[in-house]
Structure 1
Amino acid sequence: MGLTSNKVLVLAVVFAVVLFAGTVWLWPRLARRSWQAVGGRIGMLLVTQLALFASVGLAANQAFGFYASWADLFGQENGQGVVVDHIAGGAGSPVQVVATSRVAGVSGGAPQVAGQIQKVDIVGRTTRIAAPAFVYLPPEYFQARNRGRKFPVSVVLTGYPGTAQALVDKLRYPSTAQQLAKSGKMQPMILVMMRPAVAPPRDTECVDVPGGPKTETFFAKDLRDSVMARYRVDKTPASWGIIGDSTGGYCALKIAMHHPRSYAAAVGLSPYYKAPIDPTTGDLFHGDANLRNRANLFWVLKHQAAPETSLLVTSSRIGEHNYKDTLNFIKSVQDTNVTRISSIILPSGGHNFNTWRREIPGALQWLGTRLVSH
């Protein structure tokens, strides 16, 4: 049974309840002062506490999608990442569809009515990075009258560690986009949903790591090329946006600022503005001061030509640690008089899915007004 299985969660909860009841029942028998009784009490308390913590941890993982599998949890997830090139010379498709599914909460089974979610594997031709993703295709994509139409695309990134599945199930990007389009609040668009951690378990912070994964190049070039090779989308940056939460928000802003000829607009939900260095990232820069500076968005705004792109950032006055940094970032962007900046500032809201679900409808509407279809 998988880490995210409901059966695992139910079994953990039942086990914790049984242990708790057993501890209460056996406590009088372990009330003596012998070392066996003391050891028994300690053992029962420890096992019960561990069972309770496991239940809470599994429930939290179900709610927030931190880890997708047991291997992912224990840092053994290495099936995706930098791979040996198996499409050399242009052979094969850079996007392989693994499975298809319906959009949750949408009635009707036909794609031209309900749209479709495709589970895909994407391979970067230049970076040799392979990454799984979910692609949402709106109903309009399948309708006969739109056969010649090219749709705008938004790349959607999770936080770290995060799972792409959580973008579909927990943050509900496809159903939200479809509802907004149906009500006329947003134009139909394709969503490419994935993790920014394309070389798990490492968190590369969307950096082209010297001697390591070229993550920034993957998102700025390879991902676009792969999607264009498979779907009816336009190559001009005016048709491309990128959005993410937390680490994904930082990546979205950075990639759009570094590559305005790839993305016309970016949204950072609860982002930070400088790549951290910690045990999950390892040495990202290998002593390259320019690479380290470019990973600091404040430095980019101060020392490089302002990019012609549109940015949206979000935060909360109470509950988000990035609030002051976000206000400073807004001011820094305004000072450029070139880059356009918008914001969503909530009165309160923590760094969690519930907060981002409150921001996603407005963020998608904002993206929809800045991207064009052909």
Structure 2
Amino acid sequence: MFGLHASTVRLDSVPALVVAAVLALLLVALVPWRWDAWKRRRTGRTVTVLLAVVGVALACGVTANRLGSFYPTLGSLIGSSPNPGEGTVAEIGENGVGLAAALPVLAARAAAGHGSTVHMTLHGARSDVLRDADVYLPAGYTDPAQAHVRYPVIEWLPGFPGEPREVAALFGVPDLIDAAIAAHRMPPAILIIPDINGEPRFGHDEECVDARHGVADDTYLTTDLRNWAMTALRVRPERSAWALSGWSSGGYCAMNLALRHPDLYSIAVSQSGYDITPDDIVTGDLFGGRADLTAANDVSRQLREHPVPLAILATAGSDETDEQAALGRIRAAATPPVRLDTLTFPGGGHNQVTVRAQLPALVNWLGQHMVGPCADAPAPRGVVVTDPPGVPARILPDPNTPGPTAG
């Protein structure tokens, strides 16, 4: 309507906050102003009081949304945004089929020393989940002289009710990684930002798990994403070249998925994350009351009972009570071969200003722990090359059928 798309209507801006506050004040003022002026006093008074309550609730909601960056646009709130590729330079279609056509755009940016972020939809072959994803490719990826180079991978998971745009456009993570690579604080790496919840986003928190008779988010974010990347991109296959990172629920997801799949990942970063899935109005009981599924998705319990060679960075603000409590449980549970680093930032809080201020420290930590790219080397004649010994897959309970299943 009027040339506006839902994705262009900002809900986290100062003008939106001012409009909501002024509207609330006007509606509140309308109550005493018209109190005795209505011809039908009972109806008029009831309507104006209800409107005032709605106006105040709306202003409070807009204020909380600005502090927490939950829904940056109207499109993200209603789950119907026509612009999921905000913050990217090209659309490459389902499963990246249009990447080759976008390479000239990427090459032009690479000539200026910049990597590029593209938007696609990723269809999981095993999970049958179809969602948006953003992919950052470093500047060297399009260089013909580096056509045989394979890159490490960072999966960056948004928080709830976020989406890839939250990470790419609002927090600017690809720009931070681009700058870190240019400054040699991080080796060149591919960044994949998947959608962890899908649409609709309102009241729809799936916590990156394979739910009991529900969506197979774990399978989508680990097996499906990795299998796609291995076939569509030049990525390193070793677990040492794969990292997970995220904020809030994305932080929980990063630690939980890395501990559940130690054969696939060697690094996890949690920014203001927690160690167990909530059971609240927007999440519910994801495991259908099954204790084995709950235990298999409890970060602290996994650290105690299934320690694996994994480097973890867990952070929280000093004022984040729940996150600090989770940090304490994680510290108490972590034992070798887990290597745990923790950071407590002054203040803190679930808002975009705080998240952006903390991100450079997280990117620098990742840069110190990531392996670099490597070139494919031809095998000597008559020699069969095998992967070096890795970490075996975990035996995990099946969410739909009682009993264990591998990986």
- Which bracket does the TM-score occupy, shorter chain normalised? 0.7 to 0.9
Residue identity matched to 2:192: V
Question: Which residues in structure 2 correspond to 1:100-111 (within 5 Å)?
Answer: 110-111=109-110
**Distance of 2:16 and 2:344 partners within structure 1:** 40
* 2:8 matched residue in structure 1: 5
Q: Indicate conservation of the 8 Å contact 1:123/1:130, yes or no.
A: yes
**After superposition, what is the alpha-carbon deviation per residue over 1:50-99, rounded to whole angstroms, capped at 9, x for unaligned?**
3465456456546754247767645899xx9xxxxxxxxxxx97335599
**Distance of 2:195 and 2:249 partners within structure 1:** 10
* 2:288 matched residue in structure 1: 286
* 2:297 matched residue in structure 1: 295
- Does residue 197 in structure 1 map to residue 200 in structure 2? no
* 1:371 matched residue in structure 2: 370
- Does residue 164 in structure 1 map to residue 167 in structure 2? no
Q: Indicate conservation of the 8 Å contact 1:135/1:191, yes or no.
A: yes
- Does residue 356 in structure 1 map to residue 358 in structure 2? no
- Does residue 315 in structure 1 map to residue 316 in structure 2? yes
- CA shift in 2, pair 1:61/1:12, >3 Å: closer
* 1:89 matched residue in structure 2: none
Residue identity matched to 1:365: N
- CA shift in 2, pair 1:28/1:285, >3 Å: closer
* 1:235 matched residue in structure 2: 237
CA RMSD after TM alignment: 3.6
Worse-superposed segment, 205-214 or 108-117: 108-117
Q: Indicate conservation of the 8 Å contact 1:115/1:138, yes or no.
A: yes
**After superposition, what is the alpha-carbon deviation per residue over 1:307-332, rounded to whole angstroms, capped at 9, x for unaligned?**
11111100122234211320231232
Residue identity matched to 1:222: D
* 2:176 matched residue in structure 1: 176
Structure 1 position 252, deviation (Å): 0.3
Q: Indicate conservation of the 8 Å contact 1:136/1:192, yes or no.
A: yes
Q: Indicate conservation of the 8 Å contact 1:63/1:170, yes or no.
A: no
**Distance of 1:65 and 1:272 partners within structure 2:** 18
Q: Indicate conservation of the 8 Å contact 1:244/1:269, yes or no.
A: yes
* 1:266 matched residue in structure 2: 268
Q: Secondary structure at the match of 2:355?
A: helix
- TM-score normalised according to structure 2 size: 0.74
Residue identity matched to 1:125: A
Structure 1 position 246, deviation (Å): 0.8
* 2:115 matched residue in structure 1: 115
Q: Secondary structure at the match of 2:205?
A: coil
Q: Unaligned regions of 5+ residues in structure 2, if any?
A: 85-92, 375-407
Q: Secondary structure at the match of 2:150?
A: coil
**After superposition, what is the alpha-carbon deviation per residue over 1:248-284, rounded to whole angstroms, capped at 9, x for unaligned?**
1001001111111111101011111011222323332
Residue identity matched to 2:354: T
Q: Unaligned regions of 5+ residues in structure 1, if any?
A: 81-91
Residue identity matched to 2:245: I
- CA shift in 2, pair 1:180/1:311, >3 Å: same
- CA shift in 2, pair 1:199/1:36, >3 Å: closer
Residue identity matched to 2:284: G
Structure 1 position 178, deviation (Å): 1.3
Q: Indicate conservation of the 8 Å contact 1:12/1:54, yes or no.
A: no
**Distance of 1:30 and 1:206 partners within structure 2:** 51
Q: Indicate conservation of the 8 Å contact 1:264/1:370, yes or no.
A: no
Residue identity matched to 2:209: V
**After superposition, what is the alpha-carbon deviation per residue over 1:173-221, rounded to whole angstroms, capped at 9, x for unaligned?**
0111112222222222221113321475532222212322221122221
* 1:85 matched residue in structure 2: none
Q: Indicate conservation of the 8 Å contact 1:97/1:121, yes or no.
A: no
Question: Which residues in structure 2 correspond to 1:25-44 (within 5 Å)?
Answer: 30=34, 32=36, 36=40, 40=44, 43-44=47-48
Q: Indicate conservation of the 8 Å contact 1:313/1:344, yes or no.
A: yes
**Distance of 2:277 and 2:223 partners within structure 1:** 21
Worse-superposed segment, 6-15 or 285-294: 6-15
- CA shift in 2, pair 1:65/1:2, >3 Å: farther
- TM-score normalised according to structure 1 size: 0.80
**After superposition, what is the alpha-carbon deviation per residue over 1:89-132, rounded to whole angstroms, capped at 9, x for unaligned?**
xxx9733559979x9xxxx9634423211111011111111111
Residue identity matched to 2:340: I
**After superposition, what is the alpha-carbon deviation per residue over 1:126-155, rounded to whole angstroms, capped at 9, x for unaligned?**
111111111112222223443222121111
**Distance of 1:28 and 1:364 partners within structure 2:** 54
Q: Indicate conservation of the 8 Å contact 1:275/1:296, yes or no.
A: yes
**Distance of 2:250 and 2:272 partners within structure 1:** 9
**Distance of 2:128 and 2:195 partners within structure 1:** 16
Q: Indicate conservation of the 8 Å contact 2:68/2:350, yes or no.
A: no
Worse-superposed segment, 151-160 or 350-359: 350-359
**Distance of 1:109 and 1:144 partners within structure 2:** 13
- CA shift in 2, pair 1:169/1:61, >3 Å: farther
* 2:402 matched residue in structure 1: none
